[in-house]
Chain A
């Protein structure tokens, strides 16, 4: 059995040793917000936080998260459904088109802000480089992160 926490909730599952955290989130816990894009770690659509740090869940073995804390996009909004400021900012800034990459962008964006990698917009771009958006909503994504991080450093 593998016991860990997802969005503050304890889970305890029998997982296949080959199963990725992404597969377990979707197929076993029915948390479909975390998306499978490439399954190679290249697109970032499956980004979640593991003990507070962003990782790609497709390359994280479910059995490896024993005893650790996972946060997914479902754990970002308030209990009552109030959007997180970064979710709000994505809407305000048209930071998406099809929306498939958005959960990963938001999880990565939250980490980018927490890490303090928002000094200027180039820094945001560099530290968001692990998340692809095939619709090309990058301008809005950078603007949304900027809105929440506060003004760029002079």
Chain B
């Protein structure tokens, strides 16, 4: 097996173009498990951790946060928790402190597990993934078009993920996840919510309850329409209940070792109601102040 350790992004793209079967590795928290257990014997590993810029984030001229594919969860929590609260909350539920020091959003996207915790907040916040190849240059892929199937994403064999672009939060954002304990669990199901008050709209996304993470569009549209955006009133229980139902309907869960489909549907409705209540209370508090 070859081990490639490009020092620059251009070299990394060239290496991936020369050998599209080379497996990128960042934190290694997915790749190494497969190697240790001989699930996978990649012909070559392409280590991206020597490329300094992948571990940086910046505010772009158009006001978006451009977060390098190699920024570990621990730094998203401490450095971006105020501007990307949904993604930071999801990051806090990943694995353990040790895993969060190594694991990255780029790796979560590369693995594209339906249970990956970064995905629901990326969807709810309209994130765009910056992919690049040596042959065709940069391609901006909206998160909604990135997840194609179980552990399948929209990357071409010669492409690498360079960064994720997200607008800093303009309203409350929440992430909630069900698992058998607080630490170190793969989500049984998860839910992310982001209010975008400027546009009187919200983003809602479901994780681990379908072949891919997905937006709960009907729930989003219903809530955007029915909300009292003036923030004058408390949430109507009927609205809340309907929002939960629509969120659950967006999912197409399966029975597996972590839970049954029926349980997942039920839990998604609970998570949807819970996160919406939290978000609405924050929003009203701000609107009143």
Please give the residue numbers on chain A whose beta carbons come within 8 Å of chain B beta carbons, in ascending order: 17-18, 20, 39-42, 44, 47, 50, 53-56, 58-61, 63-64, 66, 108, 111-112, 115, 117, 126-127, 129-131
Given contacts A17-B2, A42-B184, A64-B28, contact A54 B101 (CB under 8 A): yes
Smallest distance from the beta carbon of A42 to chain B beta carbons, Å?
6
Residues of B within 8 A of A41 (CB): 29, 32-33, 95, 98-99
Residues of B within 8 A of A59 (CB): 27-29, 32-33, 36, 102
What would be 30 A-B contacts, judged by CB atoms less than 8 Å apart?
A20-B36, A39-B36, A39-B37, A41-B29, A41-B33, A41-B98, A50-B101, A54-B98, A55-B101, A56-B98, A56-B99, A58-B32, A59-B32, A59-B33, A59-B36, A59-B102, A61-B32, A61-B47, A63-B3, A63-B45, A64-B47, A64-B49, A108-B98, A115-B97, A126-B182, A126-B183, A127-B97, A130-B95, A130-B97, A130-B99
Q: Is B5 located at the chain interface by the 8 A CB criterion? A: yes
Q: Pick the contact of A130 from B3, B25, B36, B184 — CB < 8 Å? A: B184
**Which residues of B19-42 have CB atoms within 8 Å of chain A's CB atoms?**
25, 27-29, 32-33, 35-37
Minimal Cβ-Cβ distance residue in A for B1: A17
Closest 8 CB pairs of A and B: A130-B96, A129-B183, A17-B3, A59-B32, A130-B98, A53-B101, A56-B98, A39-B36
Contact indicator B182/A66 (Cβ below 8 Å) = no
Report how far A112 CA is from B2 CA in the complex, Å.
Answer: 36
Residues of B within 8 A of A18 (CB): 1, 35
Q: Is B118 located at the chain interface by the 8 A CB criterion? A: no
Q: Is B125 located at the chain interface by the 8 A CB criterion? A: no
Q: Pick the contact of A129 from B36, B45, B184 — CB < 8 Å? A: B184
Contact indicator B74/A53 (Cβ below 8 Å) = yes
